[in-house]
A and B are shown apart, each in its own frame.
Chain A
Amino acid sequence: DVKVTQSSRYLVKRTGEKVFLECVQDMDHENMFWYRQDPGLGLRLIYFSYDVKMKEKGDIPEGYSVSREKKERFSLILESASTNQTSMYLCASSPHGWISGNTIYFGEGSWLTVV
């Protein structure tokens, strides 16, 4: 079974703090993604990575950065957390491929509250 693990399920951070959300996958997938889920807005793509050290912006990258130093690990960084970044963050991975049709596997999510 594919496993995407998000180490922190619930976090409470203060405005202005630097926040790291960590994600690890165990299926040797090339592609990894960070989505944000908000009620009424669905899932929106923040950043994705198709290889180690490679990254591309998604639809809502402002206020976020990412790091992928190892194939299995993809980190989301909030440089200076703000209250409008309170949300659930979902990490996902998929096998190599730029051709559509690969199943994307999600972690269980990290609930972040910024106060």
Chain B
Amino acid sequence: QQQVKQSPQSLIVQKGGISIINCAYENTAFDYFPWYQQFPGKGPALLIAIRPDVSEKKEGRFTISFNKSAKQFSLHIMDSQPGDSATYFCAASMSSGTASKLTFGTGTRLQVTL
């Protein structure tokens, strides 16, 4: 079953606009929620992450909003730029007896147009 649901599948935003990607999770044991950014031909790279004890985290133009009671979190990209065009994955992980591993959403392909 899919433990992290991500929407939309694709998104087109004009330059300067706000991009919003949403994720929902089911397992309340998840305690770390990163977002990864992937450019064509490259592997995903960590963009920003949050823990459930805070409701918002901001790094430059990127903000994660977290709603623990609704089990939802979202990525906001302010003043979106063509260079932000990429695929974005939300993810979740929990502490484990062996190695903490990530469960990913299905990805959102963002295109920022001029």
Contacts and interface: CB of A to CB of B under 8 A. Distances in A.
Contact of B99 (A41, A43, A50): A50
B43 A98 contact: no
Contacts of B44: 43, 90, 106
Interface string B71-114: 00000000000000000010001111111111111110000000
Contact of B32 (A56, A100, A105): A100
B60 interface: no
B41 A108 contact: yes
Size bracket, chain A contacts: 20 to 34
A94 to B, nearest CB: 7
Nearest to B109: A39
Size bracket, chain B contacts: 20 to 34
Contact of B9 (A40, A49, A101, A102): A40
Interface string A82-115: 0000000010101001111111111111000000
A56 B104 CA distance: 18
19 contacts: A31-B100, A31-B101, A33-B99, A33-B101, A42-B6, A42-B104, A42-B105, A43-B89, A45-B102, A48-B101, A98-B96, A98-B97, A99-B95, A100-B31, A100-B32, A102-B100, A106-B43, A106-B44, A109-B41
Interface of A: 4, 30-31, 33, 35, 40-45, 48-50, 54, 56, 58, 90, 92, 94, 97-109
